[in-house]
Structure 1
């Protein structure tokens, strides 16, 4: 698998990341092991988790797999903190006390002495930004974190945070980005490009809708049929989405590949993107994402997908945002 720089940093990561949201809930330890081995065998390095996934179980499973199955040094280990508010003196979220306590908890569950990419999971309006950033600086200077990232920040939040750190810098930002969700091109993509921050898209398959699995209904074993995730999937089950899904399916048929591979290749090669983070129910499903590594979309097909997916309400903004963004990967292999 090709590797790319992690933003304006000296770190290199695979141009696809493995997400572990379902580990410890819908994916048990044995299946997680199958996924991790398949991913690493394919040349993947970036593995992304969070302290709230499975209430910490995702980190615990990943930690046990690094201890017994896949060497720690073969993985660029990414995790997150500050996704929820809590009771107590530090209030949870992105307060200094909560962040540093969360860091210690993640290190303990993962069984490691440092995290390669530590990310603030969400903007916290209840905590002064300087306080949050001071905790990130401390995490790096203490040696417990190598690089800093954020997740789900708006463009202005990303730019403000990027200017506020004193001893380190933000190298990555996670945001939902796909053919069905191109709003990051308005502000997040330009802000990230300006500050040398790499994009790590989550839900790069449009929450599963771009795979085409919902074209004729809702499969019983899909997230769309799960009461816990039905609304999450339905967010992208619109008339506009249906037109985009049909265009992706047509492109896949013409290229002799899957809609999944087409959708993933499209977002992977957008300006500023370092690595889409993909999740899978099992190793067989993950294999479909790994197959996208072999696909580069022809310019004509890419242009057609750009056109059909351009948001109607601000098409000019989305198009110019993508064109003007600085791509930190443009000099990568």
Structure 2
């Protein structure tokens, strides 16, 4: 069982230092959150190291569902048994843990057979190094293939989640991923539920100097969501927020949180103030007429 909002840690160790990370984690747990998602490549491993330290000094390990990922390398994707299990051992060392609660294949690797990748997940659970397993960035047919393989024989570990980008600006998962997840009993974890920050409304008039879009390394990450269609969706979110007396951020988060198949959106905040604003979305349930209007304007 996980909280309806997860804490993403991609910026930890790269823009978010240990003190700020500690404040975020304390704020998150105080608000009732428990799902914390990281990966072996976040901050070059620093994200896992920081989380491992905080699990000993800031929060009780038993209060946190620790999720991490492996399978992305500087050379591309590698979901071979050799790479995955070695990466898991390194993650456990950085986290100072003997097991993680959820271990995920970070991306589909077309060069490695499904049966080899899935066997690595089985071994992670059978050896006690992971409690549950899932995937990330798997398309609909990829998820269906992997989930079916895991359920085809007793003793294999079922996939419990597929972590994909999902927001009012990115509704592609509804075409295949969500139906595949619902059919296979797999939950969806939504990364970038705020449309890479665009749905907060901060880009409505200009590009803030301290935003991702203003940084050379991240400019291309945000750029696809700064077009006219995205602007219309953002304006609709802002209008809904004004009518409800809440922030656009809260509206965007509540929308994806309550979509069919979604277990939790994962919010990665650069500051504690940003995280605090996101946590306020838990108090919001969108009226049906507003949800329908947002569905219509974002249906592309």
Give me the TM-score of the superposition, normalised by structure 2. Answer: 0.97
Residues 106-146 of structure 1 deviation map (CA, whole Å, 9 limit, x = unaligned): 00000011110000000001111111111111111111100
Change (3 A) 1:92 1:285: closer
Give the conservation status (yes or no) of the 8 Å contact 1:15–1:275: yes
How far 1:84 moved relative to its partner? 2.0
* Residue 202 (structure 2) aligns with: 213
1-structure distance, mates of 2:90, 2:78? 14
Task: Find the partner of 1:61 among 41, 44, 50.
Answer: 50
Instruction: Determine whether 1:37 maps to 2:26.
Output: yes
Give the conservation status (yes or no) of the 8 Å contact 1:92–1:98: no
- Structure 1 gaps of 5+ residues are 1-11, 312-333
For the aligned residue pairs, the C-alpha RMSD in angstroms reads: 1.0
1-structure distance, mates of 2:44, 2:164? 21
Which secondary structure state, in structure 2, belongs to the residue aligned with residue 199 of structure 1? strand
* Residue 188 (structure 1) aligns with: 177
Aligned residues: 296
Give every structure 1 segment of 4 or more consecutive aligned residues whose post-TM-superposition deviation is greater than 6 Å: none
- Structure 2 gaps of 5+ residues are none
* Residue 228 (structure 2) aligns with: 239
Give the conservation status (yes or no) of the 8 Å contact 2:77–2:107: no
Which secondary structure state, in structure 1, belongs to the residue aligned with residue 2 of structure 2? strand
Mean CA deviation greater in 44-53 or 233-242: 233-242
2-structure distance, mates of 1:99, 1:254? 48
* Residue 265 (structure 1) aligns with: 254
* Residue 129 (structure 2) aligns with: 144
Give me the TM-score of the superposition, normalised by structure 1. Answer: 0.88
1-structure distance, mates of 2:213, 2:23? 24
* Residue 27 (structure 1) aligns with: 16
Instruction: Determine whether 1:176 maps to 2:165.
Output: yes
Residues 139-172 of structure 1 deviation map (CA, whole Å, 9 limit, x = unaligned): 1111110001100001000000001125210001
How far 1:97 moved relative to its partner? 0.6
Instruction: Determine whether 1:47 maps to 2:26.
Output: no
